[in-house]
Structure 1
Amino acid sequence: MNSTTDSEGVLRGVLARWKAAVDAHEPQRVASLFTEDAIFQGLHPYSVGRQGVADYYASQPRGMTAAYRILETRQLADDLVLGYLSVDFSFTDRPTLSVHLSTLVKRATDGWYISHYQVSRLD
């Protein structure tokens, strides 16, 4: 894998599964997309590992959905892709929350997983 198109494809594959699980409000399924030792930073204190990811998404309101746009990708190694994204989280009862997301996805023997996830608000 040597091109931006390939690294973007890898990122899109992982993020499509992430979005589907977030939109369906399935915290355990979201967490299963992360490595066992993933560093996760949403808009609350960070956690390490899948349980922290599951807890974070379980605390989000039903009806929350995510729409993302990939801004940049970098192939850091054969098994590691960096992504920088714009994400809009929409809710049923409040305004959309727009954030930026930096993520690292890492290849394991059975597929690609998120190993680092950090959200920031730029307002």
Structure 2
Amino acid sequence: MSHPMHAALAGWKAAFDGHDPDAMAELFTTDALFQGFGPEPTVGRDAVRAYYKAVPLDRTAEGKVLHTYTVGEDVAGGFADVTIRNPEGWQSHVYMSLVLVREGTTWRINHYHVSPVMTES
């Protein structure tokens, strides 16, 4: 069986590429801590929905899971390498870390954090 981090990243990518803020919000717990590119962390599905509503419609993402872990049966997470781009050539390379919790049979994102990957010029 695949680690839940792989399914979480695939679900995130599908919602991101589909430009579906409602589907994105459903991937998260109701009390999720969210730190995207904004200056302050936010909490909850409404904050996640608002964040992804503001993402330009031409953006798509590619990602690869780099590391996974589990804590007991109901907590898991990992670290992914993600690149977000648009058709004109703009791109942003980030590392994404997720903490996942099991709600019944569904894994949801409880903690989300992205950090830009800095490259030397």
- 2:107 aligns with 112
The gaps in structure 1 that reach 5 residues or longer are 1-5
- Match among 52, 56, 60 for residue 51 of structure 2: 56
Q: By how many angstroms is 1:94 displaced?
A: 4.7
Partner in structure 1 of residue 36 of structure 2: 42
Match of 2:82 among 66, 87, 90: 87
Q: Find the aligned partners of 2:105 and 2:30 in 1 and give their Cα distance.
A: 13
TM-score (norm 1): 0.89
Where do 4+ consecutive residues of structure 1 move more than 6 Å?
none
Inter-partner Cα distance in structure 2 for 1:115 and 1:63 = 27
Q: Where does residue 3 of structure 1 map in the other structure?
A: none
Kindly indicate whether the alpha-carbon contact (under 8 Å) linking 2:3 and 2:68 is maintained by their aligned counterparts in 1. Answer: no
Runs of 5+ in structure 2 lacking a partner? Answer: none
- Residues 28-37 or 69-78, more deviating: 69-78
- Corresponding residue for residue 70 of structure 1: 65
Larger deviation: 89-98 or 107-116? 89-98
Aligned equivalents of 2:3 and 2:87: distance in 1? 30
Task: State the distance in 2 between where 1:99 and 1:39 align.
Answer: 18
Aligned length: 117
2:116 and 2:8 map into 1 onto residues whose CA distance is 22
Once the two structures are TM-superposed, the CA of residue 93 in structure 1 deviates from its matched residue by 3.7
Match runs of 1:18-37 below 5 Å:
18-37=12-31
Output the amino acid matched with 2:80. Answer: L
User: Please, what TM-score do these two structures have when normalized by structure 2?
Assistant: 0.90
Task: Kindly report the root-mean-square deviation, in angstroms, between the aligned alpha carbons of the 2 structures.
Answer: 1.3
Secondary structure at 2:3 match in 1: helix
Q: Per-residue deviation at 1:91?
A: 1.5
